[in-house]
Structure 1
Amino acid sequence: MLVQKLAERLQPIFNHLHENPEISWNEVETTKYIKSFLKSENLKPKTFENMTGLYVDIGKGTPRVGFRTDMDALWQEVDGKFQANHSCGHDGHMTVALGVVLLLKDLAPTLPGAVRIIFQPAEEKAQGAKAMVEQGVVDSLQFLYGAHVRPLVELKDGTFAPALHHGAAKLFSGKIQGVEAHGARPEEGKNAIEIASAIIDGLKRIWISPTEQASIKMTQLHAGGTATNIIPANATFSIDARAQTNATMEVLTSGFEKVITAVSMMYDVSIPYQVDAHVAAAQVDDTAKMILKEAIIDVIGEENCAQEVITPGGEDFHFYTFLKPQLKTTMLGIGCGVTPGLHHPNMVFNQDRLSTSSVIITRALVLTLEYLEKGEKL
């Protein structure tokens, strides 16, 4: 009955957020909407002077437990037109968070502590979590939970997982600065395409244990002009690296750096590069996972509690633990029948699972407060 009543309250919220998507760092109206909603519930949201996003505390004292949701939409082509589009489920995640707010507000007089609900911008840019850490939003927290809708290939509709093991991702871009020459005299030049080929060959030789999931490959290469009888001097390239753990990503990064150094020396050319994006892998805390699993079972039964999900996709949420190793985190996997898949322009999912997710997260937050309180008494 609680879930059904909450679902009725959340439906217009989801509709508004879904119909008004905003891309990373431009979540201006979304921030205003959430702020207005929280104020209408007699809460005191806190915003930032130099960025979008906000947070709100519920309960007494300094918050040591939190829940984070992402806010931004993707910019993609939908039915022939480029536009902001919530094809990653962040509209649903925000709806879940506001459902948690409503439930916690009713429980506030009896809560054994305070909870912080964080509305984070720029997840899709892998920048929002870092910004929140820099703002000190998680400094007082010991536990932080997140949530993400999952495709059918990972979770059956109506089931929920107590942990999402996202992988790490790192994107590099660089420039090869060779020497141009006539096609008839290649020995006088330094061919950027041949140098790029050497880089590709070197990447293939980075050794990773067969027990680890990882890959590194060149995904873009632009070299030469319209003339086909000129040895091209310059080229730009992009490298995509993926690993299931942060330790393996460090191995890939070190290997990439050695390849660039070796090829630069072999051809006596300059190959400057930079890291364009970096997403940390999940570092799931066992206690947080145990608490979330208990909450899932309490709300919907053990038969609907799925196994932990290992997924190659990336998630900005994990930068909280990457930057604050003492923070205990895990993410709720929401089995809601995402089809055709995440980031598909026409992605849809079962919205009935949002209110259930709010109840599960709320239960986990309360259990965590009780866990901390019990620890203090021992």
Structure 2
Amino acid sequence: MIGEQFSEELELVFNHLHENPEVSWKEVETTAYLENFLKGKGLVPKRFENMTGLYVDIGKGLPKVGFRTDMDALWQEVDGVFQANHSCGHDAHMTVALGVAVLLKEIESVLPGAVRIIFQPAEEKAQGAKALVGKGIIDPLQFLFGIHVRPLVELDDGTYSPGLHHGAAKLISGKITGMEAHGARPELGINAIEVAAGLVDGLKRIWLSPTESASIKMTHLQAGGSSTNIVPGTATFSIDARAQSNQTMDVLTDELDKIIRALKVMYDVDIEYHVETHIAAAEVDETASGILKQAIIETVGEDKCAEEIVTPGGEDFHFFTFSNPNLKTTMLGIGCGVSPGLHHPKMTLNTERLPTGADIITKALILALDYVKGSERYD
């Protein structure tokens, strides 16, 4: 368990990270700070090649159990000025991860295996997890745990959830190429705005089961110039698709493709589109969430263990399972009084809950190591 003295050190760590935010793929100073902290505790962190972020292995042998934290801040307007800003809790997540690293280092000699702690960049761009998959960072793992602070509307302060069921999201960009014409002779052109209107109408006609939570809508449209007597021949658009499950997202994507193919034939236009960002929905593993639930109960008691949370937000963490379905994953939800809410420029949280989060994750990692070791003996 984290003692009072180390809790005070973690408070200083959080303050430093909070006051020095860096956006996706530019977490240079953050990476250096984390590396120096870990080295100062007698650990040997390894930076990722050609990108920000790092990882550290603790214990003997090939790591079978891992813990991942995100690092990047948002770019948003705060008091009228655009700046990097930790309003999603990644500063808190890194603080917990450093606490876990220190706790594991203290008992490294008696660990029943090795643990890999991963500091992932570019979560807010939904690109960091994919990059780490490409580097093979999670290949040896059987379990991977994550964390996320939760707003008060989802989780009471001082309570903890063993599973976060985030939804899937796809952010799609496209271009319609029709034909310009004089406003007096519209029959000689192909109006890109009218094609876009057909696309909007088609999206509204996608039908799904009422038991499935999903939405798809156009969120950006740009066409034409300053002259109002020209039929615009081109338009660019963006579409935001959301679904609570990966299966429902597949249905939305298929229906979108059908609509676009039909519009291309109907209007004799070219419509190009591609997925800018894909955030996979959570596939919470029952064994992993059961281990995390046990860790919560053993650390803070059953009365502080909340139910698993279904939330409409997205998280890059779930791409790890999307790319490797055999990986057992879950995320700890930390009830720490997040207010007014995630991504609010003035978001605050109760940092007193972070050491407890580190205690819970450490316990879960040890339990997972015991599970892996037991499974290997059984095999």
TM-score range, shorter chain: over 0.9
Q: Distance in 1 between matches of 2:184 and 2:151?
A: 55
Q: Distance in 1 between matches of 2:71 and 2:7?
A: 20
Native 8 Å contact 1:150 1:337 kept in 2: yes
Aligned to 2:118: 118
TM normalised by structure 2 equals: 0.98
Aligned to 1:343: 343
1:271 is paired with a residue whose SS is strand
Mean Cα deviation higher: 287-296 or 2-11: 2-11
1:341 is paired with a residue whose SS is coil
Native 8 Å contact 2:172 2:275 kept in 1: yes
CA deviation after TM superposition for structure 1 residue 3, in Å: 5.0
Aligned to 2:320: 320
Aligned to 2:175: 175
Q: Which stretches of structure 1, 4 residues or longer, exceed 4 Å deviation after superposition? A: none
Aligned to 1:363: 363
1:80-106 CA deviation, whole Å, 9 max, x = no partner? Answer: 111111010000000000000111111
Question: CA separation of 1:352/1:346 partners in 2, compared to 1, >3 Å: closer, same or farther?
Answer: same
Residues 1-378 of structure 1: matches in 2 within 5 Å? 2=2, 4-378=4-378
Q: Distance in 1 between matches of 2:169 and 2:160?
A: 25
CA deviation after TM superposition for structure 1 residue 207, in Å: 2.0
2:118 is paired with a residue whose SS is strand
Native 8 Å contact 1:3 1:356 kept in 2: no
Native 8 Å contact 1:4 1:355 kept in 2: no
Q: CA-atom RMSD, angstroms?
A: 1.0
Please, which runs of 5 or more residues in structure 1 have no aligned partner?
none
Question: CA separation of 1:74/1:361 partners in 2, compared to 1, >3 Å: closer, same or farther?
Answer: same
Q: Distance in 2 between matches of 1:44 and 1:179?
A: 60
CA deviation after TM superposition for structure 1 residue 324, in Å: 1.1
Q: Distance in 2 between matches of 1:202 and 1:226?
A: 28
Q: Would you say how many aligned residue pairs link Structure 1 and Structure 2?
A: 378
CA deviation after TM superposition for structure 1 residue 49, in Å: 2.5
1:249-284 CA deviation, whole Å, 9 max, x = no partner? Answer: 111111111111100110000011111111000000
1:332-357 CA deviation, whole Å, 9 max, x = no partner? Answer: 00111111111111110000110000
CA deviation after TM superposition for structure 1 residue 223, in Å: 1.1
Native 8 Å contact 2:2 2:103 kept in 1: no
Mean Cα deviation higher: 174-183 or 191-200: 174-183
Native 8 Å contact 1:3 1:359 kept in 2: no
Q: Distance in 2 between matches of 1:297 and 1:8?
A: 24
Q: Distance in 2 between matches of 1:266 and 1:354?
A: 57
Residue type of the partner of 1:171?
L
Q: Distance in 2 between matches of 1:365 and 1:3?
A: 19
TM normalised by structure 1 equals: 0.98
CA deviation after TM superposition for structure 1 residue 5, in Å: 3.9
Residue type of the partner of 1:313?
G
Q: Distance in 1 between matches of 2:290 and 2:49?
A: 37
Residue type of the partner of 1:220?
H
1:259-315 CA deviation, whole Å, 9 max, x = no partner? Answer: 111001100000111111110000000000000000000001111100111011010
Question: CA separation of 1:65/1:134 partners in 2, compared to 1, >3 Å: closer, same or farther?
Answer: same
2:57 is paired with a residue whose SS is strand
Residue type of the partner of 2:370?
E
Residue type of the partner of 2:312?
P
Q: Distance in 2 between matches of 1:57 and 1:48?
A: 13
